[in-house]
Structures are given as C-alpha cells and as structure tokens.
Structure 1
Amino acid sequence: MTRPRGVASQYEPSIREGAMEDFDAHWRKYSSPSAAAKMIGRKWGIGRTTLTEWLQDEGRWPRATLAQVRQLKQLEEENDRLKKQLAELLERHQ
C-alpha cells in the first residue's frame, strides 16, 4: 500500500528544511537531481521520493529550461554528426 502524498510530515521540520537546503546547495555535484535526492535523503534519514516531493511542493525541484532542452538537442545532433565523421575517417584509413 502506498502512502498518500504529505504523509512524510512525520519528520521534524528541521530535517525537512535541512535536507532541502542541503539539496539546494549541492545537487549540481551529482549526476542528476534524482541521484542527489537519493544520496542527500539517505544522509538525512529520508527516502529519495520524500525529499523529491518536498522539493516539488516548495517549487525547489530543478527543471530544465527550454534553452537547456534546445542545447541538449543541438549537442545530441552534433554528437551524431561527429560519430559519423569519425566512422568515415576510420573507414578511409583502414
């Protein structure tokens, strides 16, 4: 049985705020926001989902901007193009 959202209020307010402040300060050091929530949550004795929900409820969960999404698409396209060029060069030198 899953707990309804908001049941995580069993935690002290200091744990909630401390974990969220820790996340705000350090999440960029991790491979993803989810990875940060998992490790930081563990440090504070809470689950990744709990920390993620708290952050989302407060509007503090990182979201990709439209510019970041576009940049990622451009980088993926460039990566594909460079892979093709590399394959062609390797083929020529064999």
Structure 2
Amino acid sequence: MNNQSYRQAIGQKLEDFRKSQNLSMYRVAKNGDIKEHSVAAVEKGETAYTIDSLLGYLEGCNLHLFIGEKDNPIDVDDLLKSMPENPSE
C-alpha cells in the first residue's frame, strides 16, 4: 500500500465514523476549529491538509489518535487497563 492509498483508506474510515455519529462536515469543522474544506481534504485523502487540520478533524469528531510500532504489536487488554476510567477528567 502506498501513501496515497493509506491517506484514502484513513479518510474513508474517518468519513464513515463521522457519518455514523450523524456529524455534518460543518459540525466537525466548527468543533475542531478548522475550515470545512479541511474536513473534505482529510476525508478524500488529499495531500493538501496539515497535521493541524487532521488534529482538528479528530477533535471535531471527539476521536483520539493512537500510534503504535509495526514491529511491536499492541496488547489491547494492556492498553485498556492503562486508560483512565473516566477519560473526560
């Protein structure tokens, strides 16, 4: 998979999530303090958005970014145990 394919796959997942939460592009942009065209760019997998746009998108959808190493698989049970019980605090 090349970078463009990854961007498009990530964008599609984010769009699917946004729609499953009944969030409009406008609402995501407003909640994330970004422009609507940035929301569209992220979902389309375009290269013209910044990391700030991606982070704003995630904030607008109330999502967190998790990064793991390819060569070091994550144990989901350990990850869940390390999370606070009430993440909003």
TM-score (norm 1): 0.28
When Rg is computed on C-alpha atoms for both structures, the one with the higher figure is 1
- Counting helix residues as a fraction of each chain, which structure ranks higher? 1
